[in-house]
Amino acid sequence: MGMLDSPYFRDRELEKTVDQKGKVRCRYVYHGDWFERKLTENQRRAERYIEMLTALFAGGLAVLAAVQDTSANRGGFFGVLSMLALIPVLSVLVGAVVAFCKRGNLTRAEHHERVFLLRAMPLLAAALLLVLAVGYAIEGAWLALAAALGAGGLYAVMGVHELKVPYIIHPGTKPFAQ
């Protein structure tokens, strides 16, 4: 149908206001469920910094592994895989930046974005990097192997940590229409 039929707008209602000059202003107000991480404010602050630093360090290790001058990175299956592994690496970095900057409760769309960027993508990056580590081990590229294993381990820890932190759901004033 149209953009207003998308799931993003299902939790929003159009609010029209008239200013002093008689001009009508329209905006969409969120009335859906709010998602709150079950952490204290100090725990959340520490988590944001740790996520950002871990994403930066693991991303640096993944790039270090991908730029090594080895035959595994130059072509074939492992060459393609080393380039494809950078997609979830960059996605996790974007998710960490968004989580670092976003404070407070999350809307439904923000919650889904966080689940995708900080649960699914770190686990995908870990899996791809661990497969790459096999190629580096076969070839004997020890620096690339160590970097891929280190980055894969950090991403696995990030994904598992994100899976373990529960959310408190605060029901909104408008139920979500499926």
Is there a domain that residue 119 lies in? yes
For residue 19 the two structure tokens come to 């200013």
Is 154 a domain residue? yes
CB 159 within 8 A of CB 126: yes
Q: Compute the mean pLDDT over every residue in the chain, rounded to the nearest whole number.
A: 86
Q: What is the mean pLDDT of residues 81-89?
A: 91
CB-count burial class (<10 Å; 0-12, 13-18, 19+) for 59: buried
* In a domain? residue 12: no
Question: Confidence band (pLDDT; 50, 70, 90) for 13?
Answer: confident
Residue 65's pLDDT is what? 92
pLDDT tens digit sequence for 115-156 = 899 999 999 999 999 999 998 999 888 999 999 999 999 999
Report which of 9, 49, 46 is spatially closest to residue 26, judged by C-alpha positions. 9
Structural domain boundaries enclosing 133: 34-170
Q: According to the model, what pLDDT value does residue 176 have?
A: 52
Establish if 5 belongs to a structural domain. no
63-82: pLDDT as tens digits: 999 898 888 888 788 888 88
Within a domain: 68: yes
Q: CB within 8 A of 7, min separation 6: which ones?
A: 109
**Residue 57 maps to a domain:** yes
9 vs 2: CA distance, rounded Å: 11
Question: Nearest 10 degrees: CA dihedral of 149, 150, 152, 156?
Answer: 130
Question: Residue 22 domain-assigned?
Answer: no
Per the domain annotation, does 46 fall within a domain? Answer: yes
Beta strands in the chain (DSSP E): 12-18, 24-30, 34-37, 167-170
Q: How many domains does the chain have?
A: 1
pLDDT band at 178 (very low <50, low <70, confident <90, very high): very low
**What's the pTM?**
0.81
